[in-house]
């Protein structure tokens, strides 16, 4: 028996055989050259033709997957990268042809060119995230060249836990959720592609295990503990029996949570909270409402942008927003304006940056690089506001000047619409995300110009503790329980209270039961999170009192250590809701 620890992404207990997806699926032909001596134009021509047929087959396959999922699906956004490469981005085909002309087979020419990209991508922490995507593209092309059927997870006959270096988009698209019960990967963090897709599938998952693919053998029995972030390989009888009981308990807990969906999120002493959902596309709204969401607290509009559609029109925006309004059924819909760059989609014209999280992203991109793109989106949001309870949320505001300038552009959009006789809501609420330390420190000044605050803890934490949240090497330093984080939360909430504007939280902390107690203790009453997390957070809220939450928050504010905060909050959460903290 062996146990590996990684980063927990989605809760759950899974016991099943392992299916190990190897990083390289196909063995290349034994010789890399198809010519014994010199060059043969006819052989070169045949190899190029084979390559072109493989490229076209790959294009057709990718296009079909995008059509199946829809152009705004997160996986489709990633597949667009494959399409661009196959459209000869960076001279991909030109270099493959050159390798073939020098006497190499099409298979070796593809492998050589992909290796070039692989090396280049690994030179930067920003582009390193694209390595799994280029790996997947290589696998697709080699499959069509060699003519072998790739081992997939789409036609399984027994339940499995997928073990992989990293799950690529095309592999994820073929998951049969009746047979794939969970997955574990060597690479990735909480905000990696793998983690995002796992959360959207509500599939138990662990990432960042380091060497799981080197240790697990296909067919071995494994236990995946999504809560603890552990993979247990070849468990002994006692461990297996213990986890079978935990599995039964987890399933019973999920059934119990179903009964809470129609009940209010109210503390034992009568304090009512509003639980909202974070979404990336309108299709998620129905699931969110069924889970108990009372509205959408964060609509991530960056997923409207892709390599296939890098500059969506005003009408495209409007169509998507109107779909969301129809699905949300009169509930609030908070639309965040473009948060592009960093670990998200990088717009055309913005080259890779050494420090993308500190670079031209989000509101900076809108104000400094593409006012036209920003104005187009603002017009669409305003037009949609005439049909529902729509609110505008500006991300990554770091100064009063940025907020004032962004609001001036909103006024420009209003003037244009008035001149064109197009209806919109004149008093549409305009809020900002507090996710930069300067914004939290200056919250009292910003509150005079904003209709509401929403605290984005994912970015706030990384900027406070100076940790790139996508960098596996420093993952353990990304600490939401840091005393400085709580102090900035308190500063922000008190500023909002004095200005009498609403304040909510939409970052990862909102969906973590260990932080529910201090957030309520700080006075927060609106929490926005992934839809699948809503029932559990509601259960926790209904098991506590706001008075004890306040006392606990007072205690946390006396601590000067992240470790003490985490130990204290973990102990209190287990005491109050032991069923979910065993």
Spatial distance between the Cα atoms of 174 and 10, rounded to a whole number of angstroms: 19
Q: Where are the domains of the chain?
A: 2-23+152-240, 41-146
Using a cut of 0.75, tell me whether the model's pTM lies above it: no
The domain 2-23+152-240 is placed in CATH, from the list 3.30.930.10, 3.40.50.450, 3.50.30.10, 2.60.40.10, at 3.50.30.10
The domain 41-146 is placed in CATH, from the list 1.10.274.10, 2.40.30.260, 1.25.60.10, 3.40.50.300, at 1.10.274.10
| Backbone torsion region of residue 228, taken as left when φ is above 0, otherwise alpha when ψ lies between -120 and 50, otherwise beta | alpha
DSSP character for 33?
B
pLDDT, residue 31, reads: 45
Spatial distance between the Cα atoms of 545 and 523, rounded to a whole number of angstroms: 12
Tokens matching residue 200: 């959207």
Whole-Å CA distances, 288 to 89, 126, 192, 433, 440:
38, 32, 22, 22, 29
- Give the 3-state DSSP-derived string for 39-68, with helices as H, strands as E and coil as C: CCHHHHHHHHHHHHHHHHHHHHHHHHHHHH
Helix, strand, or coil (residue 274): strand
Helix axes 41-69, 131-146, angle to 10 degrees: 120
- Sign of the dihedral through C-alpha 400, 343, 212, 121: negative
| Backbone torsion region of residue 242, taken as left when φ is above 0, otherwise alpha when ψ lies between -120 and 50, otherwise beta | alpha
Q: Which helix (H) or strand (E) holds 527?
A: strand 526-529
- Alpha-helical runs (H) found in 147-231: 169-173, 193-201, 212-215
**String of b and e for 329-356 (b: at least 16 CB within 10 Å)?**
eebbbbbbbbbbbbbbbbbeebeebeeb
DSSP character for 300?
E
Is-catalytic flag, 449?
A: no
Q: How many other CB atoms are there within 10 angstroms of residue 407's CB atom? A: 16
Spatial distance between the Cα atoms of 442 and 436, rounded to a whole number of angstroms: 10
pLDDT, residue 72, reads: 67
Strand (E) positions, 313-388? 333-336
Is-catalytic flag, 95?
A: no
Residues 440 and 488: beta-carbon distance below 8 Å: yes
- Among residues 73, 144, 482, 506, the one annotated as catalytic is 506
pLDDT, residue 563, reads: 95
Q: Which residues contact 502 (CB under 8 A, 6 or more apart)?
A: 451, 452, 453, 496, 526
DSSP character for 6?
-
Residues 430 and 392: beta-carbon distance below 8 Å: yes
Q: Which residues contact 61 (CB under 8 A, 6 or more apart)?
A: 140
Digit-by-digit pLDDT tens for the chain (582 residues) are 889 999 888 889 999 998 877 544 544 554 445 554 445 677 888 888 998 998 898 888 888 878 877 776 666 666 777 788 888 766 788 888 888 888 778 887 887 788 788 777 777 766 776 777 777 788 788 888 877 554 455 567 789 999 988 875 456 655 777 889 999 998 877 756 567 667 767 789 998 888 888 788 777 899 999 988 999 998 999 999 999 999 998 888 888 888 888 899 999 999 999 999 998 889 889 989 998 999 999 999 987 876 667 788 999 999 999 999 999 999 999 999 998 755 454 554 444 556 666 777 789 888 888 899 999 999 999 999 999 999 999 999 999 999 999 999 999 999 999 999 999 999 999 999 999 999 999 999 999 999 999 999 988 999 999 887 666 677 778 889 999 999 999 999 999 999 999 999 998 889 888 999 999 999 999 999 988 889 999 999 999 999 999 999 999 999 999 999 999 999 999 998 887 666
Sheet containing 7-10: give its strands across: 2-5, 230-233, 221-225, 13-21, 160-164, 180-185, 205-207, 7-10
- Among residues 82, 93, 193, 482, the one annotated as catalytic is 193
pLDDT, residue 260, reads: 85
- Give the 3-state DSSP-derived string for 101-128, with helices as H, strands as E and coil as C: HCCECHHHHHHHHHHHHHHHHCCCCCHH
Beta strands 2-5; 230-233: pairing state: antiparallel
């Amino acid at each position: 028996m062996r146990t590996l620890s990684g980063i927990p992404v989605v809760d759950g207990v899974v016991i099943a055989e392992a299916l190990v997806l190897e990083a390289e699926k196909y063995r290349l032909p034994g010789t890399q050259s198809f010519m014994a001596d010199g060059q043969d134009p006819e052989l070169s021509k045949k190899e190029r033709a084979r390559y072109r047929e493989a490229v076209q087959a790959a294009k057709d396959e990718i296009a079909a997957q995008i059509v199946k999922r829809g152009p705004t699906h997160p996986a489709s956004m990633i597949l667009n990268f494959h399409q661009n490469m196959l459209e000869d981005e960076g001279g991909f085909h030109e270099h493959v042809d050159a390798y073939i002309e020098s006497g190499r087979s099409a298979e070796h020419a593809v492998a050589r060119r992909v290796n070039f990209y692989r090396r280049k991508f690994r030179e930067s922490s920003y582009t390193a995230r694209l390595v799994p995507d280029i790996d997947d593209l290589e696998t697709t092309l080699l499959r069509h060249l060699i003519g072998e059927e790739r081992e997939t997870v789409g036609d399984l006959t027994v339940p499995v836990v997928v073990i992989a270096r990293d799950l690529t988009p095309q592999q994820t698209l073929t998951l049969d959720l009746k047979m794939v019960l969970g997955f574990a990967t060597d690479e990735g963090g909480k905000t990696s592609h793998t983690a995002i897709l796992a959360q959207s599938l509500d599939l138990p998952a662990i990432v960042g295990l380091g060497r799981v693919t080197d240790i697990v053998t296909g067919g071995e029995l494994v236990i995946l503990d999504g809560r603890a972030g552990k993979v247990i390989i070849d468990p002994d009888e006692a461990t297996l029996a213990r986890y079978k009981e935990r599995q039964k308990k987890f399933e019973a807990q999920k059934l119990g949570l179903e009964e809470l969906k129609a009940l209010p999120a109210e503390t034992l002493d009568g304090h009512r909270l509003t639980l909202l959902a974070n979404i990336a596309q309108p299709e998620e709204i129905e699931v969110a409402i069924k889970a108990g969401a009372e509205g959408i607290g964060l609509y991530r509009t960056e997923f409207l942008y892709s390599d296939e559609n890098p500059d969506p029109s005003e009408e495209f925006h409007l169509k998507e927003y109107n779909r969301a309004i129809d699905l949300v059924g009169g509930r609030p819909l908070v639309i965040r304006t473009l948060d592009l760059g960093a670990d998200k989609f990088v717009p055309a014209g913005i080259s890779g940056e050494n420090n993308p999280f500190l670079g031209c992203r989000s509101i900076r991109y809108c104000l400094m690089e593409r006012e036209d793109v920003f104005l187009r989106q603002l017009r669409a949001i305003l037009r949609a506001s005439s049909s529902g309870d729509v609110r505008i949320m500006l991300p990554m505001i770091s100064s009063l000047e940025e907020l004032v300038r962004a609001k001036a552009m909103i006024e420009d959009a209003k003037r244009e619409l008035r001149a064109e006789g197009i209806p919109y809501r004149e008093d549409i609420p305009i809020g900002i995300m507090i996710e930069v330390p300067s914004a939290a420190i200056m919250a009292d000044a910003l509150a005079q110009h904003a209709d509401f605050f929403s605290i984005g803890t994912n970015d706030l934490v990384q900027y406070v503790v100076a940790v790139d949240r996508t960098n596996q090497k420093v993952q353990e330093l990304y600490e939401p329980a840091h005393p400085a984080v709580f102090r900035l939360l308190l500063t922000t909430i008190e500023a909002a209270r004095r200005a009498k504007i609403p304040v909510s939280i939409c970052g990862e902390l909102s969906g973590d039961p260990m932080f529910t107690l201090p957030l309520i203790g700080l006075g927060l009453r609106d929490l926005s999170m992934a839809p699948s997390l809503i029932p559990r957070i509601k259960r926790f809220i209904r098991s506590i009192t706001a008075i004890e939450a306040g006392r606990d928050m007072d205690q946390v504010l006396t601590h000067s250590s992240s470790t003490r905060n985490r130990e204290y909050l973990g102990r209190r959460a287990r005491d109050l809701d032991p069923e979910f903290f065993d």
